[in-house]
């Protein structure tokens, strides 16, 4: 019997490289399933049926959970969008690098072309790579001209294809970018974009609230596009402007098109939903599907987007050979700047599930998000309590596809592949959680250093987790972070404080 066959019979995956036979753990598995990463925006742990939501139905998301592995301790790297995405694509905690906070819509690209990224290593492994939907990692260099070639962007950091919402739904420019061009732009009506200082003569929400169909609750009072005032100012590009109500349909069609086009070789699709970020303006067919107003209806819409991708995989007979990952870029927020009835209609719905806080928060609700992994026949359906984070995707998916991950440029990415595939019950032993400040998880202990800052956000009413004294929680007995036990465990507080400082001061 060959060594290969013997190892396989013993349950050890093998990789044959230049005559050498190495166990998978040493050489990577060199398996190349398609990878579809569906990334919701601001969707909370408790916003989906399989994690306790009852007033909104999410059958498609629940199907991924039922047919796959549901993580109860899966995290986004940060409690807001840009830093989470930066860390997930680079394997480096965003707080290590200046300028990686929530970006304005005219920011330059913050991921350096040429550095290893999640998509670039998959490209190296022979994948066709695509990103569809929200980007929010900046585009171009300084003073980007939106009317010409938009670069550098996703195509310079490892994606073969892109169809983008450049920043967020609530930030200008309110146009799509495909490959390097604004979609549908009339050259006779050039786009200009500005943040901070007004631009042009188009009405703003501040001056003309009578023109609005959705009103801001805080901020969001600048240029009006499609009856909704945004963050930032734009002029021109009228024919190219998106219609919020059609956004889910538009990006889902693009995502499905990518899957159809790439079906014959391994592909990686990063499908980055707009939902359920503000402004929450679902397509009319989803309006009223819940009793929670637009926030609930947008969850239904997000679930529909997921269902379309799963249906495409089924239709093309790709489901068996596709690793589907579903997650969210940060915890939930109820009022994030528009009067959309989310607060009034929330009642007993708990967007963060059992966790305290939400988007922007150092409490678990900031980063403990839905994380589901499905790979039929390879990942045993079930529930995992492993501590894992999206920053681990680069090292883990490199291991899956037989690539080595560059720990110099992506030092915070841990290979947790055995946990992601359900082969091991444990993932990381520790995790730095990032909101405005840093906190540290070690096992089920959670340490939040003493810090300045409001306890509750005046805008969003989120409990931010800041306190003038150190906080220590034992999540095993107190998952809701209700009882600060720092005073009872001074040594653990000191030790976790030192460890956090050590990680913080580690050079790249
Ligand atoms: C905040 C916005 C909020 C949202 C957030 C980014 C205001 C008052 N608030 O500054 O509405 O856009 O940035 O969200 O402007 S994220 O999910 O992209 O991180
Ligand atoms: Ca977000």
Tens of pLDDT, residue by residue over 5-60, are 333 333 333 333 332 333 334 344 569 999 999 999 999 999 999 999 999 999 99
Tens of pLDDT, residue by residue over 91-124, are 999 999 999 999 999 999 999 999 999 999 999 9
Ligand 1 pocket mutation, candidates 43, 44, 78, 80, criterion most atoms within 8 A of CB: 80
Q: Whose CA is nearest to atom 16 of ligand 1?
A: 81
Q: Whose CA is nearest to atom 6 of ligand 1?
A: 102
Strands (E), 243-362: 267-272, 322-328
The predicted pLDDT at position 30 comes to 67
What is the set of domains in the chain, with CATH numbers?
A: 430-505 (3.30.1120.10)
Tell which atom from ligand 1 comes closest to the C-alpha of 336: 11
Q: How many CB atoms lie within 10 A of CB 12?
A: 14
Tell which atom from ligand 1 comes closest to the C-alpha of 80: 19
Ligand 1 pocket mutation, candidates 277, 279, 369, 459, criterion most atoms within 8 A of CB: 277
- Output the CA 329–ligand 2 centroid distance in Å: 5
For the chain, the distance separating the N- and C-terminal CA atoms, rounded to the nearest angstrom, is 47
Ligand 1 pocket mutation, candidates 337, 339, 361, criterion most atoms within 8 A of CB: 337
Ligand located closest to 219 CA: 1
Q: Whose CA is nearest to atom 15 of ligand 1?
A: 219
Tell which atom from ligand 1 comes closest to the C-alpha of 218: 8
- Does pLDDT of 74 surpass 90? yes
- Does pLDDT of 296 surpass 90? yes
The predicted pLDDT at position 507 comes to 60
Query: Of 495, 434, 497, nearest to 96 (Cα)?
Result: 434
pTM of the model: 0.94
Tens of pLDDT, residue by residue over 431-475, are 999 998 999 999 999 999 999 999 999 999 999 999 999 999 999
> Angle at CA 501, nearest 5°, toward 498 and 502?
85
DSSP codes, 214-263: B-BSSS--SBEETTEE-BSEEES-GGGB--GGGHHHHHHHHHHHHHHHTT
Q: Whose CA is nearest to atom 8 of ligand 1?
A: 219
Q: How many CB atoms lie within 10 A of CB 364?
A: 29
The predicted pLDDT at position 506 comes to 87
- Output the CA 359–ligand 2 centroid distance in Å: 8
Structural tokens at position 498 = 């030192």
What is the pLDDT of the chain when averaged over all its residues? 94
Tell which atom from ligand 1 comes closest to the C-alpha of 134: 18
CA distances from 77 to 83, 229, 280, 383, 474 (A): 7, 30, 24, 21, 21
Q: Whose CA is nearest to atom 5 of ligand 1?
A: 102
The band of 142, judged by pLDDT with boundaries at 50, 70 and 90, is: confident
Average pLDDT over residues 141-157: 97
Ligand located closest to 40 CA: 2
DSSP codes, 451-501: --S-SB-TTT--B----SS-EEEETTT-TT-----GGG-HHHHHHHHHHHH
- Output the CA 185–ligand 1 centroid distance in Å: 26
Q: Are 244 and 281 in contact (CB under 8 A)?
A: yes
Ligand 1 pocket mutation, candidates 40, 169, 170, 195, criterion most atoms within 8 A of CB: 170
CA atoms within 13 A on the CB side of 382: 14
Tell which atom from ligand 1 comes closest to the C-alpha of 168: 18
* Contact partners, residue 243, CB within 8 Å, separation at least 6: 226
- Output the CA 390–ligand 2 centroid distance in Å: 14
Quickly tell me which residue has 């901070």 as its tokens. 196
- Output the CA 41–ligand 2 centroid distance in Å: 4
- Output the CA 199–ligand 1 centroid distance in Å: 21
- Output the CA 255–ligand 2 centroid distance in Å: 20
Give percent above pLDDT 70 in the chain.
94
Tell which atom from ligand 1 comes closest to the C-alpha of 220: 15
Q: Whose CA is nearest to atom 10 of ligand 1?
A: 102
Give ligand 1 pocket residues (Cβ under 6 A). Answer: 41-42, 80-81, 102, 136, 168, 170, 218-220, 231, 277-278, 330, 336-337, 459
Average pLDDT over residues 75-104: 98
Ligand located closest to 367 CA: 2
Q: Are 60 and 304 in contact (CB under 8 A)?
A: yes
Ligand located closest to 195 CA: 1
Average pLDDT over residues 345-353: 98
Tens of pLDDT, residue by residue over 403-423, are 999 999 999 999 999 999 999
């Amino acid at each position: 019997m060959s060594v290969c066959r013997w190892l396989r019979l013993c349950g050890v995956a093998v990789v044959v490289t230049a005559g050498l036979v190495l166990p998978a753990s040493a050489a990577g598995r060199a398996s190349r399933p398609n990878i579809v990463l569906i990334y919701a925006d601001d969707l909370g742990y408790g916003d989906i049926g399989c994690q306790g939501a009852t007033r909104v139905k999410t059958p498609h998301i629940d199907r991924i959970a039922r047919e796959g592995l549901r993580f109860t301790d899966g995290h986004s790297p940060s409690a807001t969008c840009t830093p989470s995405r930066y860390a997930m694509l680079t394997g480096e905690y965003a707080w290590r690098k200046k300028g990686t906070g929530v970006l304005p819509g005219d920011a330059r690209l913050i991921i350096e072309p040429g550095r290893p990224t999640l998509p670039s290593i998959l490209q190296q492994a022979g994948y066709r790579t695509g990103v569809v939907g929200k980007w929010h990692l900046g585009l171009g260099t300084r003073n980007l001209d939106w009317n010409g070639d938009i670069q550098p962007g996703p195509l310079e950091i490892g994606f073969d294809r892109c169809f983008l919402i450049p920043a967020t739904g609530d930030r200008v420019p309110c146009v799509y970018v495909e490959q390097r061009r604004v979609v549908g732009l009339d050259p006779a009506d050039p786009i200009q974009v500005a943040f901070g200082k007004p631009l042009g003569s188009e009405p703003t929400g501040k001056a003309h609230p009578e023109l609005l169909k959705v009103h801001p609750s805080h901020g969001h009072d600048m240029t009006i596009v499609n009856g909704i005032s945004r963050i930032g100012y734009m002029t021109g590009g009228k024919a190219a402007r998106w219609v919020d109500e059609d956004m889910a349909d538009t990006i889902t069609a693009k995502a499905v098109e990518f899957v159809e086009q790439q079906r014959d070789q391994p592909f990686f699709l990063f499908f980055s939903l707009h939902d359920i970020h503000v402004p929450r303006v679902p397509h009319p067919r989803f309006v009223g599907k819940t009793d929670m107003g637009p926030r609930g209806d947008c969850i239904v819409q997000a679930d529909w987007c997921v269902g379309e991708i799963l249906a495409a995989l089924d239709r093309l007979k790709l489901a068996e050979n596709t690793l589907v990952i579903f997650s969210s870029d940060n915890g939930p927020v109820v009022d994030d700047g528009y009067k959309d009835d989310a607060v009034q209609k929330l009642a007993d719905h708990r967007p963060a599930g059992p966790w305290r806080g939400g988007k922007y928060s150092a409490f678990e609700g900031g980063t403990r998000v839905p994380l589901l992994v499905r790979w039929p026949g390879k990942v045993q359906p079930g529930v995992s309590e492993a501590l894992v984070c999206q920053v681990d995707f680069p090292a883990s998916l490199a291991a899956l596809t037989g690539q080595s991950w560059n720990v110099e440029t992506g030092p915070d990415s841990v290979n947790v592949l055995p946990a992601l595939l359900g082969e091991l019950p444990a993932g990381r032993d520790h995790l730095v959680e990032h909101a405005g400040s840093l906190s540290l998880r070690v096992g089920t202990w959670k340490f939040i250093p003493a810090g300045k800052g409001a306890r509750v956000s005046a805008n969003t009413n989120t409990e931010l987790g800041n306190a003038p004294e150190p906080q220590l929680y034992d999540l095993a007995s107190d998952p809701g972070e209700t009882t600060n036990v720092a005073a009872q465990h001074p040594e653990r507080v000191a030790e976790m404080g030192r460890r956090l400082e050590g990680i913080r001061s580690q050079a790249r």
